[in-house]
Structure 1
């Protein structure tokens, strides 16, 4: 009974909440789910709070939750309708479970996410520029499919999901049949390929308004990578 009422493996409630919050946020970004920055932070924090609270419930309540067959979406929507009233009356708001505060701003990257929030409703070519699949790249740029897929696995090329499981590749990242230097570092810093490419193709305040991908094509790798790490 005692074991069921504590987080697994002796992890504290705050630590468990923080781990789940981070994992959910990273997964959403890596899978290309483009939520606005506030929704991304809130969804991740809520998932962490739920994961941390469940092990502390009495066994009877946990069994009741496990056996619930109703509409979870409606139940959660009702909860969200109550939150503003709770805040207005001075009650606690949804917070960062690891610190007791609202999740901190993630700096410029959250601003990028806000600007990119509408990308899912747009045609890929309308915001990403010219893109092509592996067949085109093999025929026109002489990049073997095996090489392209190896670059993709290693995070050395920006691959954007289009439709179900198909990926396309922005052409502006290639010079002489290879992705420009610095792409892998930007992807490592920002994580989400869509957000990374969105940042790469827009004027960046960190670079005095210059476009990062244009700078990479001019071998100005150090400045671009430093800026990417700063916004992330």
Structure 2
């Protein structure tokens, strides 16, 4: 994790993530006359389950096992059902570190993915999922431990 000479460490841990999105956020947006955010706006490019099965070359039982074992991030969308963020995969395999971030997030797929997808100061504004893609697993896990509470 990048350290700055003027920082003590406690002031660069990043924005704290709650365990889930605020309840009723889309309802508040609708009542305020705003459009609810689409899952793609919040989470990035997503696979439906059939798309994930085809893209990854696995069957539904494998996706379900990975989800139950908390090896991959699978989100539940009100309109689309179960959805799978695309960026957690490379070459048909889950990026190293994704399961560990899920563990740090106490199994909350939403919290884990928001941490992985949002730009983070420890990676010069890059999203932690991109740091995982570069093989910087330990740095991402350290940042996750400091950021996710």
Is the structural similarity TM-score above 0.5?
Answer: yes
Aligned residue-pair number: 124
Give the conservation status (yes or no) of the 8 Å contact 1:207–1:227.
no
Structure with the larger RCO, 1 or 2 (CA within 8 Å, 6+ apart): 2
TM-score normalized with structure 1 length:
0.48
Indicate the SS of the match to 2:17. Answer: helix
Q: For residues 147 and 52 of structure 2, what CA distance do their matches in structure 1 show?
A: 31
Tell me the TM-score normalized by structure 2.
0.72
1:119 and 1:127 in contact (8 A); partners too: no
Point out the structure with the larger strand share: 2
Larger Rg: 1
- Which of 129, 148, 159 is residue 63 of structure 2 equivalent to? 148
Find 1:194's aligned residue among 95, 110, 126: 110
| Structure 1 segments unaligned to the other structure (5+ residues) | 1-107
Question: Per the alignment, in what secondary structure is the counterpart of residue 167 of structure 1?
Answer: strand
**Which structure dedicates a bigger proportion of its chain to helix?**
1
Counterpart CA distance in 2 for 1:190 and 1:224 is: 13
**Structure 1 segments of 4+ aligned residues over 3 angstroms from their partners:** 108-111, 116-120
Q: 1:121-152 deviations in whole A, cap 9, x for unaligned?
A: 22111111111122112223312211111110
Contact map agreement 2:48 2:80 (CA 8 A) in 1: no
| CA offsets 1:33-64 (integer angstroms, 9 cap, x no match) | xxxxxxxxxxxxxxxxxxxxxxxxxxxxxxxx
- Given the alignment of the two structures, is residue 126 of structure 1 paired with residue 41 of structure 2, yes or no? yes
Indicate how the Cα distance of structure 1 residues 146 and 138 shifts in structure 2: closer, same or farther if over 3 A, else same.
Answer: same
